[in-house]
Amino acid sequence: MSPKHVRQARGVVGIPSHSPFLARVSGPHEAPNCRPPDHQFFTAGGWVEEQRGVLAVGGQRRPPTPSPWGASIGCCLSAGVPLPYNGKVAGLASVEGLEIGFPRPPGGVVRVVRGGEFAVTEGDSVALVGESGCGKTLSALALTNLVPEPGRIVGGRVVVDGEEVRGLSEARLQRLRGAVVGYLWQEPGMAFNPLLRVGVQVAEAGVLRYGWSRRQADCRAVELLRAVGLENAEALAAGYPHQLSGGQRQRALLAAALAGDPRLLVLDEPTSALDPLAQQSLLELIGRVQKARGLAVLLITHDLQLAARVARRVVVMYAGETVESAPTQELLAAPAHPYTQALLYCAITPPGGVPRPRGEELATIPGRVPPPEAWGGVCRFAPRCDRAMARCRTAHPALTELTPERRVRCFLHAGAEDGGG
Ligand code: SF4
């Protein structure tokens, strides 16, 4: 991850590169108990709503930001109800025909994502699955227009919270980052600024969204760190990132992602840097938080087993495009695309199955994911597909609807059409 990418990542969870406290709260809300107005906080009993008030930000009074959880008071332990998804419904976030390009001298553009398609509805859980280099992380970054420079979205539609992301002003994008979409990164050590105290960084998205005072931010950071199961939260908040273990940093990063009360949490390989016990613990925590807050989750992983544990739907990406999407159980029971079938065949422990016997040789998919320059107007999986036909090497399959809930990009299925380059 480049320094620029890291800075952008910090921006997602509201961590600016300069002095963090841009807003002050005045009047009766500067209370000793440090509770910001019109907001909810997490206690052992759940999320509880606070009193309403008026904030003064940058010397100007403004009404408080409405709570994303409505006016209900008390525990909020019911999960959001996932809406039906037929591959076309624009939910909380939807991506259609996504193309992400990087400049290639002299004057050209190489498209590293071409054909990304997925959607996430309120309270839903979706997994983007595929090998490294298939465009999963870039597609998730596109949700808040955080594709690392010099790359950019060059085609397709990305709609988040009803707004087309391409062309949004930086101020509108900042609203999406942290307040609508929060990110939990694979490498928490890279996402934190080593020069700032943990508490300052954990509270930053809340400071930007709700205008917490310095004292409120300090208290909130401690509450958030406690809410993600960290003991001795005061000391951790006052410390620096290098003083935390890997598991603590990952939880602290989750706390930072939650500070702005996002409605969609993107989890980019969240457990890959953790030991098995810490993985299990973090997954349970994420499940509890998702249920308590009705959060939608977009999981990025190469691990179908992890996807099966977390997600209601799976979207399989290969070589920069979506090749299959389906409800998780349907996809595991009857994968339609040869690439999905190969991924399942290669799993050390097939989801829902028994671990392979010790000593048994593991299966692999022969070949490699082709680079964008080699995609051409053909099926990108053809060089590795043991069922490839002549048509697969002369035409590019379109994403075809099998049922209202299932789509696949493969000529083996009836009705599959040529989808162009
Ligand atoms: S279109 Fe042809 S090459 Fe591509 S996955 Fe289907 S069968 Fe294999």
What is the 356 CA–ligand 1 centroid distance (Å)? 28
Residue entry with tokens 């040869």: 338
Q: Residues 182-191: what's their mean pLDDT?
A: 80
76-260-174 Cα angle (round to 5): 140
pLDDT of residue 44: 31
Evaluate whether 117 touches 325 at the Cβ level (below 8 Å). Answer: yes
Which of 21-35, 128-142, 244-258, 314-328 is the least confident region?
A: 21-35
Residue with CA nearest ligand 1 atom 7: 388
Residue 198 lies in a domain: yes
What is the 381 CA–ligand 1 centroid distance (Å)? 6
Residue 108 lies in a domain: yes
Residue 394 lies in a domain: no
Residue 152 parent element (H or E): strand 152-160
How does pLDDT run across 135-165, given as a tens digit for each residue?
999 999 999 999 999 999 999 999 999 999 9
> d(Cα 174, Cα 120) in Å, to the nearest integer?
20
Which ligand 1 atom is at minimum distance from the Cα of 397? 1
Residue 407 lies in a domain: no
Bridge partners (DSSP) listed for residue 102: 110
How does pLDDT run across 25-79, given as a tens digit for each residue?
222 233 334 433 334 333 333 333 332 222 222 223 333 333 332 222 222 222 3
Residue 231 lies in a domain: yes
Counted domains in the chain: 1
> d(Cα 401, Cα 74) in Å, to the nearest integer?
42
Bridge partners (DSSP) listed for residue 98: 116
Residue 68 lies in a domain: no
Residue with CA nearest ligand 1 atom 1: 410
What is the 378 CA–ligand 1 centroid distance (Å)? 9
What is the 368 CA–ligand 1 centroid distance (Å)? 15
pLDDT of residue 156: 95
Residue 130 lies in a domain: yes
pLDDT of residue 349: 67
> d(Cα 322, Cα 324) in Å, to the nearest integer?
6
> d(Cα 191, Cα 272) in Å, to the nearest integer?
15
Q: Using 50, 70 and 90 to split pLDDT, how confident is the model at 256?
A: very high
Q: Using 50, 70 and 90 to split pLDDT, how confident is the model at 15?
A: very low
What is the 96 CA–ligand 1 centroid distance (Å)? 22
What is the 412 CA–ligand 1 centroid distance (Å)? 7
pLDDT of residue 65: 37
Which ligand 1 atom is at minimum distance from the Cα of 388? 3
Residue with CA nearest ligand 1 atom 6: 410
Which ligand 1 atom is at minimum distance from the Cα of 411? 1
Residue 214 lies in a domain: yes
Q: Which residues approach ligand 1 with their CB closer than 6 A? A: 338, 379, 381-382, 385, 387-389, 392, 397, 410-412
What is the 385 CA–ligand 1 centroid distance (Å)? 6
Select from 392, 402, 409, 413 the residue to mutate for testing ligand 1; criterion: most ligand atoms less than 8 Å from CB: 392
Give the gyration radius of the chain's Cα atoms. Answer: 22
Q: Is 295 exposed, middle or buried (0-12, 13-18, 19+ CB in 10 A)?
A: buried
Q: What range does the domain containing 129 cover?
A: 3-17+81-318
Confidence check: pLDDT of 166 > 60:
yes
- Provide the percentage of residues in the chain whose pLDDT is more than 70: 74
Q: Which residue has the higher pLDDT, 298 or 191?
A: 298
What is the 391 CA–ligand 1 centroid distance (Å)? 9
pLDDT of residue 167: 85
**Is there a cis peptide before residue 37, judged by omega within 30 degrees of 0?**
no
Select from 340, 389, 396 the residue to mutate for testing ligand 1; criterion: most ligand atoms less than 8 Å from CB: 389
What is the 120 CA–ligand 1 centroid distance (Å)? 27
The domain that holds 193 is classified in CATH as: 3.40.50.300
